[in-house]
Chains A and B, each alone.
Chain A
Amino acid sequence: MPDLREYAGAGGYAGLRAALKMTPTEVQGMVKAANLRGRGGAGFPTGVKWGAVPLGPAARRPKYLVVNADEMEPGVMKDRLLMEGNPHQLIEGIIIAAHAIEAEHAFIFIRLAYREAAERLRRAIAEATAHGYLGENILGSGFSLDIRVHRSAGRYICGEETALLNALEGKRPIPRAKPPFPQTVGLWGQPTVVNNVETLCNVPHILRNGPEWFRGLSRSADGGTKLYGASGRVRRPGAWELPMGTPLREILEAHAGGMEEGYQLRGLLPGGASTDFLTPAHLDLPMDFASVMGAGSRLGTGTIVVLDDRTCPVSLLISLEQFFARESCGWCTPCREGLPWVVRLLRALEDGDGRQEDIARLEEHTRLLGPGRTFCALAPGAMEPLQSALHYFREDFTRHVTERGCPWRKELVV
């Protein structure tokens, strides 16, 4: 892990020096021109998000920048690697983003399991403060900022930005109604921006090298690079920084080393647990926001979970839906009651108690828990792998009924 001297020696904090010579609006303009889209999963344009914050002497103070480092989506580990590997890159991104919205306080909201990352960030913050990159009157610019690391205590919903704000305030972390959006009414009711770790790690490079350079890194319309990952039965599970729009095949074959000996690719979740399955027919798909959406899924976090031919898709869905059922905050009825019901239906299929109409009932749930029916995106996200599995792996579901149990669990065959 580079310390401040090594980071600065490699060009670190040059982006900050450039940013501090610009107005907040100019910094926002650079990031908009770079086509940086949020890397937390939703892909909202970062500069546009910042642009909704009131600026100038009339704006309410204080304002806050909050870093979402809660990373609890199953199959996702990219932000941990960024924070452990180069904490100063994130710190620099935070300072630039805070300057762009004129925020005076920043919080890093990090999950409890990431102790090592939290410690490295705290050390980096202390180093940056000692060298004048943080604190009062940063590098003589008149801009001041402090960063506090908040370690959470484990709950997926805290990654939803408004639940995260409630968590920071010491309330029960259920999501808030939107609008108003955090940019105007956020932490303690003040203007606030919540950005993902990877998103902010891109910002110093945009400021240092310019938007054109950043767009040129990409193989798609979305600017920059992306941290792609792969886990499951691949030879080399891991994460790699590659041009945005790198095809799935290249990620899985050239970087993840292909499938483990004896396993075939059956399907994949392109960007975490809450994205629709894709199949081997999609291997030539460029991994960018528009292309993956065009194939009926979402880029999400870009960290791929691989389903092999020796893992039962129905069993895998039990793991996925059990996760969502357990992590539902319980605030709205469809999510609180519907997700455990989905798990029961899947378990019944797996245990040989399923009936043909249960498959139709699962399909019904993908609509009843879909977009617009619930308070936040948790339940609709949970339905994405389910609806696509029902489409691509239909025969596997049917076999669980006709063979009275899971064909993969030999001991259960009646």
Chain B
Amino acid sequence: MLTEQERHEIDEEVAAVRGHARAAVVEALKVVQRRRGWVSDDDLRDVAACLGMTPAEVDAVATFYNKIFRRRVGRHVLLICDSVSCWIVGYHALLEHLRARWGLELGATTADDRFTLLPVACLGLCEQAPAMLLDGELYGNLTPARLDAILATHE
């Protein structure tokens, strides 16, 4: 069940797109994900009802975007860039460090639910490669030591 607050936020998004309710679908999914971390089947049906769409129509959108999660994720989601610029200057070393020091595997969540690690396409931070997106925040010029310092502040 969506909370009153979530319904209110979705209604505001619908009002902002003036007569095109389904144009608010990506924002509505983000509203749900902001508090719950991901979008469950039940949440998806609730969003569909708010927007006058079928659940299948909403899922066609939700499954398309790589930053809408249709499966449970950890408390922190780390998206590591594996595109060319990062690939050249240190992606592999970071990936290996995440595995060895933090027990993170691509596509997996740690047993304590602390981190989910996912690959991501170019983050547009190529002049500061290698880069990652952690809980929506961009980080560049990463080294194993800098990574450790950042991850340590994410319990």
A interface residue numbers (CB < 8 A to B):
71-77, 79-80, 111-116, 148, 150-156, 167-173, 188, 229-233, 237-239, 269, 273, 303, 305-308, 311, 315-316, 319-320, 322-323, 326-327, 329
Contact = CB atoms under 8 A, between A and B. Distances in A.
Contact of A111 (B61, B124, B128): B124
Contact of B84 (A154, A155, A239, A320): A320
A170 B64 contact: no
Given A152-B65, A169-B22, A319-B82, A115 B136 contact: yes
A305 B64 contact: no
Contacts of A231: 84-85, 88-89, 126-127, 129
B20 A112 contact: no
B7 interface: no
B65 A114 contact: no
A315 B82 CA distance: 12
A237 B131 CA distance: 13
A114 B124 contact: yes
B38 interface: no
B23 A76 contact: no
Interface in B115-131: 119-129
> By CB atoms of chain B within 10 A, which of A153, A307, A308 has the most?
A153
A79 B123 CA distance: 12
Given A169-B23, A319-B82, A323-B121, A239 B127 contact: yes
B68 interface: yes
Interface stretch (B25-33, B104-112, B144-152): B25-33
A306 B129 CA distance: 13
Nearest to A311: B88
Contacts of A73: 122
A410 to B, nearest CB: 14
A170 B27 CA distance: 10
Contacts of A326: 119, 121
B87 A168 contact: no
Contact of A153 (B21, B68, B119, B125): B68
A412 B22 CA distance: 51
A170 B65 contact: no
Contacts of B136: 112, 115
Nearest to A79: B124
B89 A232 contact: yes
Contacts of A75: 83-85, 122, 126
Contacts of A237: 85, 126-129
A171 B84 contact: no
Given A80-B125, A230-B127, 8 more contacts: A76-B124, A79-B124, A150-B26, A153-B65, A169-B22, A172-B61, A269-B84, A320-B84
A188 B121 contact: no
B60 A172 contact: yes
A155 B65 contact: yes
Interface string B74-94: 000000001111011100000
Contacts of B45: none
B64 A173 contact: yes
Contacts of B124: 71-72, 76-77, 79-80, 111, 113-114
A112 B67 contact: yes
B24 interface: yes
Contacts of B24: 170
B98 interface: no
Contact of A307 (B16, B88, B123, B133): B88
> By CB atoms of chain B within 10 A, which of A152, A229, A308, A319 has the most?
A319
Contacts of B88: 231-233, 305-308, 311, 316
B54 interface: no
Contact of A273 (B61, B66, B84): B84
Contacts of A150: 26
11 contacts: A77-B125, A153-B65, A153-B66, A169-B22, A232-B85, A237-B85, A239-B127, A269-B84, A305-B84, A319-B83, A322-B82
B138 interface: yes
Given A74-B85, A153-B30, A156-B121, A170 B127 contact: no
B29 to A, nearest CB: 7
